[in-house]
Chains A and B, each alone.
Chain A
Amino acid sequence: MLPPELIVLISIAAPALVGAAWLYRGSRTLSAGFIGVIAGGIGGALFMVPLNYCTFEADRTSTDVAFGVFLIALGAVIGIAVGAGVNRIVGSGKGISSLTSEQNTAGTFKGTVIPFALLAPTLVILALFLYAPALDNLRLSTLLARLGTDRTAFVCVDNFTKLLEPRQNYGQTLYATFLISFFTVIIGLAISLMIAYVAYQPVRGASIYRTLLIWPYAISPPVAGIIFGMVFNEGAGIMNHLIRSGGGVPVQWLQSASIAPWTIIAASVWKSMGFNILFYIAGLQNVPKDLIEAAAIDGANFVVRFRRVIIPMLSPITFFLIITNITYAFFETYGTIDFLTRGGPAGATSTMIYRIVDNGLNQRDLGSAAAQSLILFSLVIIITLIQFRTSGRRVTYGR
């Protein structure tokens, strides 16, 4: 193992060099390179200083070392991304003043204390009930902590690397999360688009139809679970009754590990469809009619018009819906799962959020739950960043 001082040096110097090269390559100024050095260096130390470089201690496993390198790289990416943002502001010539004050002064009230007084309730609540718990989560993820006891012990990144052990079955949790999320989003959007395409046409009673199509949005995920639990109940449910009276073999909708995720998907699709249909109808009403007519005059049949005109025109709204549906599938399905399968059978429907609650508050392993929360958090941040990068172009209605 390398001496600790050398590890610290490398973990700061390497990201600093990468940061300098990256930012210098972009704008070819010395100041950009300088910002890159600072940003990369801070980024490299971002996770390692709070952890006190524990992943590189002599008795650590190679998994820990690899995870440490990953954290240095992740910190470097975050640092350099922030550095690039700072560089753009500095480079744009407006300087730091554009960060602290607004150019537009028309119609503003005087006073600098009043705005903070107006914002105080919001800021205090956000700080106490969002930021503080988030920091606590970060700290907990490095601790051996049990719910109900105050004693804790620092365990470095064990809560993360432990998840890689086969008996933890974290792969299954990831698989269940992605299976349920992916198909909830894909199936939900496809069916919703088809229904919306019919519903947006100017038929008599359109607003009544629309109301009858979108109301499931207001149904809660637990209620969706309860109702689908009845429809798909293996003994008393209507689905198996229909199958039995058709001479078929009853399906184990909730007891079979290969079918249960699909029952969850069905309930989630049903619950999310109202929202999707509502937005697709709005989007379709803004597709210029002359565009569709022009395509029809050119001899494009229904399928071609749908594929070549409708779907491209709706892509911004589809994108918005994909993001909101992923967030729904990640988090809101908790209530549905809790009533339908409670994560079973054998963990087949135990998604990331379900497992966080189960591990943390039922099995009382706060450290592991906090670590899993951070993994989910990073997924959400990635999704949100994609959303922000494309916002503005996202929901454009053409006119």
Chain B
Amino acid sequence: MAELSRQIGTVAPHDRTTSLTGPPSWKRFVPERWYAHVILWIACLLIGFPLLYAALVSTQNNAQVANFVLSPGSSFAENFQQVMVNRYLGEYMLNTISLAVVITIGKTILSLLSGLAFVYFRFPGKWIVFGFVLATLMMPTEILIIGLYRYVSGTLGWGGTFQALAVPFLASATGTFLFRQHFSNLPAELSEAAQMDGANPLQFLWRVLIPMSWNTIGALAVIQFVYSWNMYLWPQLIMQGGDFQVVQVGLRTLLAVDTSIAYGPLMLGAVIASIPPVIVFIILQKQFMSGFQITTDK
């Protein structure tokens, strides 16, 4: 596992010996495995094309879009004003950041606590409790959406509120297993030593486990941040008519600016809404991968 995550980060060192021993002169300008570079360039361009096209359209007005102008248009400032101010996307972005941060931190804390309970305690009914958590892996929110909607908006009366978006997602079977797996790979001497020093479980968690778990915390954080940033179905249902809205649902308001679709603002909104999760994912891609390794390799 550690082996794997290390290898994801680094690729085997480049073999440079041929270029040192005097190759034919033209070879110096053609990279080794040039065909791989060509294919990878094409693949990167094909994958990037839809977003590049969207970014191009985001600078144009409808006339430029309809004429297929392939250079940046003249309406970026106008579109930006339209999207961020007139259509409140700036506000939606701030809402979504606070939601994603609350869910990510809350999930991490609750998962650390339940991981601690499962690894460092013996208690009656442990495996029944464990099964109770395990079974929720089979219950995607989408399947329960009707019951969840009735409960949260009807019984609790939380429709349109922040807690309706955050609270149902604070507990996580994935996070619990991630930390359970990580903790049980740590040597038992750690907790024995901590107990001899008279530390209570929370002190042990705070002073010993968390400093040793940053990689796992990063893994959970990136998975959960991207997940909560990209939530769509649930906020669409539960936030109807509320003042608070997340960015993915807020994009809907860009579909009909003055009865006809203005393509520029819509594309600009889509591009801006994608920047935070893409950046977080790219920065934490190594942790992301190792997180999946742990959950799948148990």
Contacts and interface: CB of A to CB of B under 8 A. Distances in A.
A251 B13 CA distance: 48
A106 B150 contact: no
B273 interface: yes
A334 B232 contact: yes
Contact of A228 (B50, B114, B146): B50
Contacts of A99: 127-128
B47 A134 contact: no
Contact of A195 (B43, B49, B151): B43
A212 B281 contact: no
B151 A278 contact: no
Interface stretch (A24-32, A40-48, A50-58, A365-373): A365-373
B270 A122 contact: no
Interface string B220-250: 0000001001101100110000000000100
A214 B278 CA distance: 10
A63 interface: no
B256 interface: no
A374 B144 CA distance: 9
Chain B CB within 10 Å — which of A320, A369, A376, A395 has the most? A395
Given A116-B123, A133-B148, A282-B289, A230 B263 contact: yes
A153 interface: no
A221 to B, nearest CB: 7
B267 A134 contact: no
B278 A218 contact: yes
B52 to A, nearest CB: 10
Q: How large is the interface on B (under 10, 10 to 19, 20 to 34, 35 or more residues)?
A: 35 or more
A142 to B, nearest CB: 13
Name B's interface SS.
helix
B127 A335 contact: no
B125 A100 contact: yes
A123 B148 CA distance: 16
Chain A facing B: main interface SS:
helix
Contacts of A320: 296
Interface stretch (A65-73, A172-180, A198-206, A254-262): A198-206
Contacts of B129: 119, 123
A130 B136 contact: yes
Interface stretch (B31-39, B77-85, B210-218): B31-39
Interface string B160-177: 000000011011110010
Contacts, number: 311
B139 interface: yes
Contacts of B273: 220, 223
Interface of B: 3-4, 7-8, 11-15, 31-33, 36-37, 39-40, 43-44, 47-51, 53-54, 57, 62, 65-66, 68, 110-111, 113-114, 116-118, 120-129, 132-133, 136-152, 167-168, 170-173, 176, 188-192, 195, 201, 204, 226, 229-230, 232-233, 236-237, 248, 251, 255, 263, 266-267, 269-270, 273-274, 277-278, 280-282, 285, 288-289, 292-293, 296-298
29 contacts: A99-B127, A107-B191, A112-B123, A118-B113, A122-B113, A122-B171, A122-B172, A123-B171, A126-B132, A126-B173, A129-B152, A130-B139, A198-B43, A201-B33, A203-B31, A214-B281, A219-B278, A226-B266, A227-B50, A227-B54, A227-B267, A273-B47, A331-B140, A338-B236, A356-B145, A360-B145, A361-B149, A377-B139, A395-B296
Given A100-B124, A108-B191, A370-B146, 8 more contacts: A112-B121, A115-B126, A217-B281, A223-B251, A226-B251, A278-B288, A335-B233, A339-B251
Interface of A: 98-102, 105-109, 111-112, 114-116, 118-119, 121-123, 125-126, 128-137, 140, 195, 198-204, 206-207, 209, 211-223, 226-228, 230-231, 233, 235-236, 238, 241, 270, 273-274, 278-279, 281-282, 285-286, 320, 327, 331, 334-335, 338-339, 353, 356-357, 360-361, 366, 369-370, 373, 376-377, 380-381, 384, 391-392, 394-397, 399
